[in-house]
Structure formats: structure tokens, C-alpha cells
Amino acid sequence: MLSYIVPFLVLILVVVFIHEYGHYYFARKYGVGVTDFSIGFGKELFGWNDKYGTRWKICAIPLGGYVKFFGDRNVYSEADHKEILEKYSKEEQEKLFILKPLYQRVLIVFGGPLANFLLALVIFFSIYSFVGKDFTPAVINEVQKDSPAMTGGLKNQDVILEIDGNKVKSIMEVSKFITMSTGDVIDFKVKRSYDELILKVKPNIVQGEDGLGNKINKRMVGIKLGAYNNEVNHVKLGPAQAIYHAAHEVYYVSTSSLKYIGGMIMGKADTSQLGGPIRIAKISGQVATFGVIAFISMMAYISISLGLINLFPIPMLDGGHLMFYAFESVLGRPLSQKTQEGFFRIGMFLLLSLMFFTTFNDLKDLGLFS
């Protein structure tokens, strides 16, 4: 159990700290007073005050964090300007978030998700620069008899060029692209002799295990891969190439995650793979046994997920507040307090429903439900 908890705490502390620091950075940049910078919720375990009057603290429940602004009882409410102006002096008003121009409030809110994407970018850039990236072309060594691949027309010695429009730069990407596909069929672009062909393969959905031994529903096409000409091509990249491929990975993970979520909403993707803190803790502990590189790679993917989820237009998330600012920009004034409260109730319901669903999946993953 401890082998799961420690890596999970490290992962969560880093990813949440970076997210909250994104909010903090822009808040400080635009002169907003920050009274609290908390990692976790509930009772404070330890903390300290800095020279700007911010209380930095670690709290007992390490499942998130927050930055609290000066004078903030409802950070993103702007419906009570008159009351605010009467309550605070001119000097204090300069530090109030809700009196800042719209573009500054947008950047302060967007700063959290932005910091998560930048963390992932830095991690991928560092790995590609100092460890390297695999560019070994993927060739099919075997097509299993009566498999979806054989039915779809794939053959031995086909070199896989693209899967669902995604260029396959490495043998390592084939499994990733197949797993992230959500359509009934997967488009394979292959090179056969001197010809390039596009073949459609309808995968089988079978219950299996991932590389860590966790039960998952796998999309199987029935091929075995090998390195092209049996040559492994693993190279360290220069700064320009590293930043390009790092940015591409962040973009791919973000767009694929959105497509997968869209697939779940439409009933086409497997909702059983959606997990919460328990599953993250379990997987982070398992990944940590594979070494530092595997662990920080997972940290990058979790950071992207956190940044992406926070941009969903759900009140209580950063995206919900950005949605309010979009209304404010169009209407020329903020939404009324009553309207905002109505949206927040909807957001609370959606988040609680999501928490219940992911927790149920986590417990089922542990074998507590069949």
C-alpha cells in the first residue's frame, strides 16, 4: 500500500502545485492580493507566511488545492460591485480580483491549465533531449489467422505509416493509436513494396491486461510487430526537434482525450476505463517501479488531463469561470448573482456525479464490485 501512496502523493503534489502556481503567478503579476496558497483541503498540517502576506500550506486531504484571493468570499462573482466599493479602501480595492479588467481575470483563471500544459511540455522536452525518442518504423511480422487484421487486408512485411490519420513515427505508437481509437473501424495506411494502401480494420474488443497487469477492455486487431530491417532507431533530439515533438505529444494527448470523452458521451468509447484517485494511485505506484522516466512521463499525462478537465465549461472549474467571462464580454456586464448560483448548482451536480462514477469504477477495479 505504501508503494502506491508515496508515488501518488508526489505526483499529485507536483501537478497540483504547478496548476495553482499558474493562477498565483498571474495574480501576482496583475497586483491581486493572495492570502492563501494551499495544496490539499481540510486541516492545515504545516505552512508559512511569505513577505507578501500569503500563507503557503499543506493540508490533510491531498486531492487538489486552491489559491485564495484577498477579499474573496466568492472568487469569481462580480455581481456585488457596489457592496465591494463600500467595504474596501482605495488601496485595498487595488488588490481585489473582481475589480481587475476582464483580460486580466481571464489570464489569472487560464493560468492554472496553462501551467499544466507547460509542465507536460517541459517533461517531454527533457526526455527527448536527454534520454531520446524512438523513431523505429513499425513493420508487421505476423498477421494472426482469421483476425480483424487479416480480414481487413493487412499482410506480413507491411510498414505501418498512419493509423486513423495519425502518422506512426515509432513502433511504440501503434498500440497507443489503436487504444485511443473510438470508431467502429480503424484506418491503417501501410506501405507495401512501392505502394501505399489504406485499409479498414474492425477491431475485436476483448478483456485483457495492460502492461501493468490491470484489467482493461482492449481493442485487438491481431498483428505482431517488429523493427523495420531489425534496426532500432532511438535518438536524442536537438532543442528545436525536442520542442516540436513535445508540443505535438501535448497536442495529440489533448485532442485524443477530447475525442475519447466525446466517444464516451456518445456511447462509443469504454467508460469502464475512466478512473479516479484510487486508480491513479494504483497506476502511479505500478509505474514508479519502472523507473523515473516512466513515472515523470505519467506525470506529464496526468498534468495534461488536469489542465484539460479544468477547461471544461462547468461552473466550479476554471472553464466554467471562463464561460462566465465569455458571457460578460458579449453582454457587457457580468451575469447576475442568481444566474451564477444556478450554474454553480448544476456544476456541483455534474462534478459529484463524475466523482461517484469514477469512484465506482475504482472500487470495481479493486474487485469490490463484480
DSSP codes joined into one string, 57-75: EEEEEEEEEEEEETT-SST
Instruction: Note whether 109 and 178 are same-domain residues.
Output: no
The radius of gyration of the chain from alpha carbons, rounded to an integer in Å, stands at 24
pLDDT at 111: 96
3 state DSSP class of 218: strand
DSSP state of 273: G
In a domain, 281, yes or no: no
Domain finish residue from 202, 220, 235: 235
Does residue 145 have a pLDDT over 80? yes
Instruction: Note whether 203 and 125 are same-domain residues.
Output: no
Instruction: Note whether 142 and 226 are same-domain residues.
Output: yes
β pairing state of 186-192 and 166-167 = unpaired
Domain finish residue from 202, 235, 268: 235
Q: Which domain holds residue 53?
A: 2-130+303-365
Annotated catalytic, 341?
A: no
Instruction: Note whether 126 and 95 are same-domain residues.
Output: yes
pLDDT at 244: 95
Instruction: For residue 31, name the pLDDT band (cuts at 50, 70, 90).
Output: very high
Query: What are the pLDDT digits (tens) for 124-138?
Result: 999 999 999 988 888
pTM of the complete model beyond 0.85: no
pLDDT at 346: 79
CA distance linking residue 261 with residue 279, whole number of Å: 18
CA distance linking residue 211 with residue 218, whole number of Å: 12
Identify the residue with better confidence: 215 or 169.
169
In a domain, 292, yes or no: no
Residue of 304, 306, 349, 352 lying closest to 65 (CA atoms): 306
Query: Cell numbers at residue 262, please?
Result: 466525446
Q: Rounded to whole angstroms, what are the CA distances from 221 to 124, 170, 196, 252, 268?
A: 29, 18, 20, 22, 18
Instruction: Note whether 31 and 124 are same-domain residues.
Output: yes
Does residue 104 have a pLDDT over 90? yes
Domain finish residue from 235, 256, 281: 235
Q: How many domains does the chain have?
A: 2
In a domain, 256, yes or no: no
Contact 219, 181 (CB under 8 A): yes
